[in-house]
A and B are shown apart, each in its own frame.
Chain A
Amino acid sequence: MGRSNAGVRTHGEAAGTLSRGPGRLLIAVYGVFALAATARAAFQIGTKFSEAPLAYALTAIAAIVYVFATVSLSRPGPRWYRLSVAAVGLELVGVLTVGTLSVVDPVLFPADTVWSGYGRGYGFVPLILPVLGLWWLYRHRAASSERAPAQARPE
């Protein structure tokens, strides 16, 4: 953390590489969405849950996924790496499933969620974010195999 010998290391070799460089921006955007979805879920469930329980429960699930991904992406180590893949993967599945359902059957979601219409209400960022997240994780896949150095490619 905060060390300045960047450039000496090879890609994805060391702990904490996920939160370096472009990863910092990625985690910052995740943080903003974690905040926004949490606040929105708390507001919807606190004031009008009975109006659209399914939609508001989904907002809450999205909020949990965003909060979890923000934390796991900013932590070093293979365990957090795997949890990040799970969280970001779940996010992608969520936005694709809810997005498709909301387009095919709008009656199912009378109220908007973060993931309705593939995140249309949020500038499609909810759709782009997990793709970028998985790409970023894939680029740093060596961080997932710290205990198996034999897999490290000679570069």
Chain B
Amino acid sequence: MIVDGFFVAGTVVCLVSTLLCIGAAVIRQPPNDVTILAVAAVELFLLVYLVAGIVRQAGGEPVTGEVWEFWGYLLTALLIPVGAFWWAILERSRWSNLVLGAVGITIFVMLYRMEQIWDGAMPA
């Protein structure tokens, strides 16, 4: 796996998003503009990653792993912030911020896998 701009940017977005949400939970805030925008930022990154993925593939850049597995991960990942947002705002307690905080962690793991599929796995 090559550590490229997408991976760095995605990692930063996910990390900041998760830290903001956990922070809000620690100070006993219900989901607010800050944590909802933090999760929206993760979704925005995924949309940029989606467009970039389409452009890169259309431009003939090779994918090392299974192409459909990459897209399966990406399309699933796109649903996660939306689902977490829906689940979190049904109950506006501080625990819901931890639900939102789980988005960043989950998307980071999925991004790591997607980058592995694209570039080939690092020798373990």
Q: Interface residues, chain A, CB within 8 Å of chain B?
A: 1-2, 6, 19-25, 27-29, 31-32, 35, 39, 43, 47
Contact = CB atoms under 8 A, between A and B. Distances in A.
Contact of B87 (A1, A22, A24, A43): A24
B121 to A, nearest CB: 14
B72 A24 contact: no
The secondary structure that dominates the A interface is helix
Most A CB within 10 A of own CB, among B72, B90, B95: B95
10 A-B pairs with least C-beta separation: A28-B99, A25-B98, A21-B95, A24-B95, A32-B106, A22-B95, A25-B95, A25-B99, A24-B99, A28-B102
A71 B86 CA distance: 16
Contacts of A32: 80, 102, 106
The secondary structure that dominates the B interface is helix
Contacts, number: 41
B74 interface: no
Interface residues on B, range: 10 to 19
B90 A2 contact: yes
A28 B96 CA distance: 10
A31 B90 CA distance: 16
Given A28-B99, A29-B102, A2 B76 contact: no
